[in-house]
Chain A
Amino acid sequence: MNWDWSAVSDFMPDFWEGLLVTLQILVLGSLISFVLGLVWALLMRSPSRWVTWPVGAVTEFVRNTPLLVQLFFLYYVLPEWGLTFSALATGVFAIGLHYSTYTMQVYRAGIEAVPAGQWEAATALNLPLRRTWSAVILPQAVRRVVPALGNYVIAMLKDTPMLMAISVLEMLGHARLFSQEHFQFTEPLTVIGVAFIVISYLASLALRALERRLAH
């Protein structure tokens, strides 16, 4: 096996394109999973079983079926219902939805970890329920769960190549195309492997910085 630097430089233009797509999936997918996960977690606290049962069933279903199946389903079945989105948009939504079923459990733990005394103080001050959530409970809960959410961002990064299955050309997609056209596998796959490590490392640094900023 010979390492060919010229193959690396030939791959670079494709690599940058793929990197951009991977980062898009990661950033948008994370945002969706953060927001949706919080929505699920809050809905699951509803006193009504008419809310908690369907939300519990749907999220349980999504968490326990493979992301790949969900990608195919959304990509091939939604258009039959008249809903057509780009492959990237479908993929971002699917991965965000999938991970929201994990982040909801993280939020739940964070919310339950806020001491009962905080709720009691809010009641004693007559704060409305909405304000109690937004000003007292959630700021404390979210601070507690940043490290755990961060771990799911890293896990999501490693799942981004699955979007290749619905023809999204992220880093692995570009590496595969390049390899097949040039019959050079080592260089492009090594380059994207290194890129994955670098992104996770930078993401973990950013998270640690965020944790420090949120500490009080």
Chain B
Amino acid sequence: MPTDTLPNPEKNPTRSSGELIRLEQVTKRFGDHTVLDHLDFSVDAGKHVTLIGPSGSGKTTILRLLMTLTKPDEGTITVDGERLFPAPEKQVREVRKKIGMVFQQFNLFPNMTVLRNITEAPVTVLGMSKDAAEERARELLELVGLTDHLDKHPAQLSGGQQQRVAIARALAMRPQVLLLDEVTSALDPELVAGVLDVLRDIARSTDITMLCVTHEMNFARDISDQVLMFDSGRIIEAGPPEKIFSEPEKDRTREFLSAVL
């Protein structure tokens, strides 16, 4: 596997090895409903953190806040020592470069080929040459096992293939953090394994920090350094996967796990 195509700490000397993401007292409301309630948490560089909990408990909202797809009502968000919220637009654009996201619905650009989906942002945002971006796109497509589909449009691919292209597209920007938002929830059951295998490979062979919202508990157990159990906008329990999945402390966690496992 061409691991040299993935984020490399040596090429990024400013990168800190300690805390990479910090949310402080973050509150998010939608109307009268408080999705996140004065939430504090942090993630160290290179860690794989899985967010579990019932739907509506605020997991996806955390990813969306980090990707700046929505703004908190209160609190601060810091990434790699730089403020992401509140921050001026120009700074947000800079800090956001450190973060990539893969969506539940893939969100590939249907008007572009697979290759251009992956090269578009490296060329227009990072200023890479078209040739360099295409070479890197080919390497990434090899990594996700899709070398034959460069010139196809997303609509010609299966859901699993589209999601693997989306993973390659996110990695092409060399993010330090990869946000995975229920990336297998929209897939047919037989396509889930292929996507999860790709993500396991990436988790194993790179130092990329992962924040993952998923209902695939086996996958969570495999890749996570830490599991956070959410309920009603708060983290009610946190710990390594062995502990959370085998001997959770809270009744709420036990209830949730027995319902999904």
Contact = CB atoms under 8 A, between A and B. Distances in A.
Given A120-B107, A135-B112, 4 more contacts: A118-B107, A124-B67, A125-B121, A216-B110
Contacts of A121: 103, 107-109
B93 A126 contact: yes
B111 A143 contact: yes
A140 interface: yes
Contacts of B110: 140, 216
Interface in B93-113: 93, 96-97, 99-101, 103, 105, 107-112
B19 interface: no
B124 A131 contact: yes
A126 B96 contact: yes
15 contacts: A115-B105, A117-B103, A120-B67, A120-B103, A121-B103, A121-B107, A123-B69, A124-B69, A124-B101, A125-B170, A126-B173, A131-B124, A135-B109, A135-B120, A136-B111
Interface in A122-141: 123-128, 131, 135-136, 139-140
Contacts of B101: 120, 124
B153 interface: yes
B22 interface: no
Nearest to B154: A216
Given A127-B120, A136-B111, A117 B105 contact: yes
A216 B111 CA distance: 7
B155 interface: yes
Interface residues of A, number: 18
A123 B109 CA distance: 13
Nearest to B116: A135
Interface of B: 67-69, 93, 96-97, 99-101, 103, 105, 107-112, 120-121, 124-125, 153, 155, 169-170, 173
Looking at A115, A121, A123, A125, the one whose CB has the most chain B CB atoms below 10 A away is: A125
Given A131-B124, A216-B155, A126 B97 contact: yes
Contact of B109 (A126, A136, A143): A136
B195 to A, nearest CB: 17
Contacts of B121: 125-127
Nearest to B122: A125
A126 B92 CA distance: 10
Contacts of B100: 124-125
A140 B173 contact: no
A93 B201 CA distance: 60
Given A117-B105, A136-B109, A216-B155, A125 B120 contact: yes
B125 A127 contact: yes
A136 B108 CA distance: 10
B103 A128 contact: no
A128 B125 contact: yes
A126 B125 contact: yes
Contacts of B120: 125, 127, 135
A139 B173 contact: no
A12 B206 CA distance: 77
Nearest to A126: B125
